[in-house]
Structure 1
Amino acid sequence: MSRGRRYGLVVATDRLPAADPDDSRDHVDAALAALRPLVANRSGAWAPAGGEGPGDGVLGVRSPARAGAAALGASLLRSLCHHQPADFPSNWFDGYLTVNRRVAAAVTASASASATVWTHGHQLQLLPRLLRRMRPDLAVVTHLHSTFPPAESFARLPEHRALLSGLLGADVIALPHQRAVDNLLDLAERVHGLPVRQGRITLGHRGVRVIAYPLPADTGGARRLARLPAVRAAGGRIRDAMRVTGTVLLSVAGWDPADAVEQRLHAFERFLAEHRPAPGEVALLHVACGDPRTPAEDAQRQRVDRLIAKINGTHASVGQAVVHYVRAEPDRRDLAALYLACEGMLVTPTHHGTVTTAHEFIAARGDLGATVVVSELTSRAAELPGAIAVNPHDPGAFADAIAQATGRFGPAPRAHTAAAATALDGWAEHLLTTARPPGSLVPVVLERRARPLSGGARARHTRPGGYEVGGPPLAARRVVGR
């Protein structure tokens, strides 16, 4: 990076995405990697919070001593957004605040006048307000790919006022679906008394737009990868190694309990008990991605390990598993090979707002046909015509859905995408244009409300005040009982 260079677009993220989208490890990383041409075309720069060194188009952000606590805090925030238990350690916020301040210093020192800043991820929720106080000329777009929890859940966190203050420094906040938008607007209006009208939160003389704008599936990339000879050969090897004559169902998930992996396994176990297919006739291939990042995720890994061992111990035969279990970090090429190796896929999250892997699975298989079981809690029927929708919390109905997907009740239905998916580069370009011209500086100060949250919440304890997010100390934080 040349000394003193200024950028009209800066993308601040928790990490640098892969240089090649095909090397990405998840759909979020793929989306960020797809931003690289856009950033390059606009002569922009990246500001990673992960401590990567400076380079061409990369701002140097020195990682603080407690960066691990900040990263853990981001993971716990993600869990909280997915309605999962999140036990935050007492020292997480200090490191989290330091990371945000260091990213803010790097961005404000390198952004040109009236530049646009895109902030992404739970690790940088304080960044928009820091930027607004330091550089009110900047237009800030904040994107969170995870859902936003109900006000009662979010307000249990002692630092929720600081986090909301941070987000409201943006001009536009993009969330994955309308329910998440409604939750954030409810938190701002009902709990903190901020004026809300038509998706806009008013703060003094400026407003913050909150919109539903999910990450699109990279269906074009999935189709392209599925046509590569090396990927097709890899898919054939995977299929041959399983030695299954009938249907193989694919399950790909991390360790977030909201992915409902345990529900999938219990339903598959019930399907095996009720329909008794011979080993080698039907199988489930479960790919567990990455490592657990929180205590709740580590506990789920142990439960999943035991449950898969139990299912195979009960229903498998010598040399023929019924659940093929792989712990891996597949890149986009690996995923395309897995898509080609399996006829069906279980995509049944309980709290996510999108099912991008289902769209990519259908696109990759093309004329081969794809059967998909989705969660009726997170998917709309119009999104995936022909998909089998089920409540993942209903094991009997879920087992029946698996039976339908494996052809026990007649030919398995084929799913397809209702409309052409938005290209990732077009998606990003449109989001950037939603940022209104920045207004005058108005500090974000959230009023303390005497009225308790609904649901009979009780006060639990109060942490000392004094955290500063680019300005005066915020009000003392009152924890609402869990």
Structure 2
Amino acid sequence: MSRLVVVSNRVAVPNQQAANTGGLAVALREALQANGGVWFGWSGKIAQRTSSQPTLTEVAPVTYATVDLGRKDHSEYYNGFANRTLWPLFHYRLDLAEFPRQNYEGYLRVNSLFAEQLRPLLGDDDDIWIHDYHMIPLASELRRLGVRQRIGFFLHTPFPALEVFLALPSHERIARSLCAYDVVGFQTMNDLRAFLDYIVNESGGEVLEDGLVKAYGRTLKAQVFPIGVEAENLARTAAHALKVPAVRRFRESQRDRAFLMGVDRLDYSKGIPERFEAFQRFLERYPAWHRQVVMVQIAPGSRAEVPEYKQIREELEARAGHLNGAFADYDWTPLRYLNKGVPRETLVGFFRLSAAALVTPLRDGMNLVAKEYVCAQSPHEPGVLILSRFAGAARELDAALLVNPFDPDGVADAIARALNMSMEERVERWEAMIKPLRENSLDAWRDSFLKALRQAPYAAPSDTPGHAP
């Protein structure tokens, strides 16, 4: 069997405290251990200069290869083009996207450096799986260096509609780079349609049968692979988490109040300010629930060097203070806002106890919190999922209360409906959602992508499609 080479922005090196051992990392590591191979990417460290060669950590049968980024490369590639150009653009926030050419050149430069450092680690029969928007040009850079192995790419974010994507000055280069892959995977059919719209109407390419795409002298497969979660494991963890001291203390602190749960990385795409406004509208319009309900919002910080993230943290702190100042009583604080992470088991326990979850991003590729919340519920007394229709998860979880996060009154009404929902309806909705989550697990997502990649019959090109002017 061919070895697997995984490339991602961050590498989950075993036994490193900073490594995130979430479900995705576990699934990728299991595939690597089954096949042997390499996991390559940024170490998460910022140095004076970018590493001239990767640091190798051998944990048989896997080699973890990590690269430190120099300050200039980190600024232009990561904080710059990846997170101040592609991230806001892919999440439909053109008002926040910036397009300095210097950052774009840094993005290409770092991907070229990554390709040069990855190339010596590759075997002739390796399957290469590259993840997310940070690494879009990597296949074209590897092709330039003579790599002819199968290369797949999975985009974890949304792919924007044609009119939005065209706002990117380098859109043609990015599209060409995607066509250097053998398989390109998207979270939802909407994302795939947006990509195909560009291929047909902008690049002059063709959409063939069975998901095949012909463009820029290449034939590749473009397909939807909705990422899943570890449903059974989450259910077991949630049942056990009720005994965790922090979860027990939290339940006691609520007295007999219902509580609403929100968990998001601190990011403007998650719609947290809009969620706070919706909760305030709920308190204004449904005063009978005063002192009877608490909203808990957990939002650990991220990308602290990016100004937009500093601004949203300040905005949320101000909004939380204003809301509590307007509604709190001496023995009731309606909104608890935590700007820090919570251990996974504790978090799943909170999910289990909550009457409802507010998962209301303005735009999201998938949003695994929504899926994790459903899996964590008691089958006999499940909570209610209030879910943005702009989250990729809404395609599978259409039995949730689907809301428009830009409509605070509509979200407020959904909160009231969730809190008043009969247990019979709660169970019916939960059963409709848990079924696809059990079928479309994280392992199934991984295995279906790798199967498509290994069946890709397309010869690598002699040219390098990502390098057209």
Q: Same fold (TM over 0.5)?
A: yes
Letter of the 2:200 partner, please give it.
E
Q: Distance in 2 between matches of 1:159 and 1:313?
A: 47
Q: Secondary structure at 1:311's aligned position in 2?
A: helix
2:42–2:66 contact (8 Å) kept in structure 1: no
- Are residues 1:82 and 2:91 paired? yes
1:225–1:231 contact (8 Å) kept in structure 2: no
Q: Distance in 2 between matches of 1:25 and 1:248?
A: 28
Q: Counterpart in 1 of 2:166?
A: 155
Q: Distance in 1 between matches of 2:239 and 2:194?
A: 41
CA positional deviation for 1:443: 2.5
- Are residues 1:48 and 2:50 paired? no
Gaps (5+ residues) in structure 2? Answer: 46-54
Letter of the 1:68 partner, please give it.
H
Letter of the 2:401 partner, please give it.
I
CA deviation vs aligned residue, 1:331-371 (integer Å, no higher than 9, x gap): 42232132134221011223224242222112212234111
CA positional deviation for 1:428: 1.1
CA deviation vs aligned residue, 1:111-162 (integer Å, no higher than 9, x gap): 1113110000211111011122323421001011101011222222222222
Q: Secondary structure at 1:209's aligned position in 2?
A: strand
Matched ranges for 1:194-209 at <5 A: 194-198=205-209, 199-203=211-215, 206-209=218-221
Instruction: Give 4+ residue runs of structure 1 displaced > 4 Å after superposition.
Output: 20-26, 379-382, 408-412
Q: Distance in 2 between matches of 1:349 and 1:8?
A: 37
Q: Counterpart in 1 of 2:185?
A: 174
Letter of the 1:34 partner, please give it.
A
Q: Counterpart in 2 of 1:255?
A: 266
Q: Relative to structure 1, is the Cα distance of residues 10 and 385 closer, same or farther in structure 2, using a 3 angstrom cutoff?
A: closer
Q: Counterpart in 2 of 1:458?
A: none
1:8–1:113 contact (8 Å) kept in structure 2: no
Letter of the 1:164 partner, please give it.
A
CA positional deviation for 1:224: 2.6
Q: Distance in 1 between matches of 2:150 and 2:236?
A: 35
CA positional deviation for 1:438: 4.4
Q: Counterpart in 1 of 2:7?
A: 12
Matched ranges for 1:389-468 at <5 A: 389-407=402-420, 413-414=426-427, 415-416=429-430, 417=433, 418-419=435-436, 420-435=438-453, 436-445=456-465
1:349–1:378 contact (8 Å) kept in structure 2: yes
1:339–1:364 contact (8 Å) kept in structure 2: yes
2:153–2:184 contact (8 Å) kept in structure 1: yes
2:241–2:348 contact (8 Å) kept in structure 1: no
Q: Distance in 2 between matches of 1:108 and 1:98?
A: 15
Gaps (5+ residues) in structure 1? Answer: 1-6, 446-468, 476-482
Q: Counterpart in 2 of 1:463?
A: none
Of the structure 1 ranges 184-193 and 409-418, higher mean CA displacement relative to structure 2 is found in 409-418
Q: Relative to structure 1, is the Cα distance of residues 427 and 411 closer, same or farther in structure 2, using a 3 angstrom cutoff?
A: closer
Letter of the 2:449 partner, please give it.
L
Q: Distance in 1 between matches of 2:133 and 2:266?
A: 17
Q: Distance in 1 between matches of 2:285 and 2:71?
A: 54
Q: Secondary structure at 2:260's aligned position in 1?
A: strand
Q: Secondary structure at 1:48's aligned position in 2?
A: strand
Q: Relative to structure 1, is the Cα distance of residues 145 and 380 closer, same or farther in structure 2, using a 3 angstrom cutoff?
A: closer
Matched ranges for 1:323-342 at <5 A: 323-342=335-354
2:128–2:152 contact (8 Å) kept in structure 1: yes
Q: Secondary structure at 1:325's aligned position in 2?
A: strand
Q: Counterpart in 2 of 1:91?
A: 102
Q: Quote the RMSD (CA, aligned, Å).
A: 2.8
Letter of the 1:81 partner, please give it.
F
Q: Distance in 2 between matches of 1:17 and 1:356?
A: 19
- Are residues 1:372 and 2:378 paired? no
1:9–1:117 contact (8 Å) kept in structure 2: yes
Q: Distance in 1 between matches of 2:365 and 2:241?
A: 33
Q: Counterpart in 1 of 2:322?
A: 310
Q: Counterpart in 2 of 1:387?
A: 400
1:168–1:444 contact (8 Å) kept in structure 2: no
Letter of the 1:153 partner, please give it.
V
Q: Secondary structure at 2:6's aligned position in 1?
A: strand
Q: Secondary structure at 1:114's aligned position in 2?
A: coil
Of the structure 1 ranges 246-255 and 151-160, higher mean CA displacement relative to structure 2 is found in 151-160
Q: Distance in 1 between matches of 2:386 and 2:318?
A: 24
1:255–1:297 contact (8 Å) kept in structure 2: yes
TM-score, scaled to structure 2 = 0.85
Q: Distance in 2 between matches of 1:263 and 1:238?
A: 26
2:236 corresponds, among 224, 229, 238, to: 224
- Are residues 1:101 and 2:112 paired? yes
Of the structure 1 ranges 392-401 and 350-359, higher mean CA displacement relative to structure 2 is found in 350-359
1:151–1:187 contact (8 Å) kept in structure 2: yes
1:267–1:399 contact (8 Å) kept in structure 2: yes
Q: Distance in 1 between matches of 2:239 and 2:421?
A: 30
CA deviation vs aligned residue, 1:242-261 (integer Å, no higher than 9, x gap): x3422100011123323221
Q: Distance in 2 between matches of 1:21 and 1:33?
A: 14
1:204–1:442 contact (8 Å) kept in structure 2: no
Q: Distance in 2 between matches of 1:280 and 1:227?
A: 28
CA positional deviation for 1:183: 1.0
Q: How many residue pairs are counted as aligned between the two chains?
A: 440
2:259–2:354 contact (8 Å) kept in structure 1: yes
Q: Counterpart in 1 of 2:284?
A: 273
Q: Relative to structure 1, is the Cα distance of residues 82 and 439 closer, same or farther in structure 2, using a 3 angstrom cutoff?
A: same
Q: Secondary structure at 1:217's aligned position in 2?
A: coil
Q: Distance in 2 between matches of 1:14 and 1:92?
A: 17
CA deviation vs aligned residue, 1:353-407 (integer Å, no higher than 9, x gap): 4242222112212234111111234468773365222222222221111111122
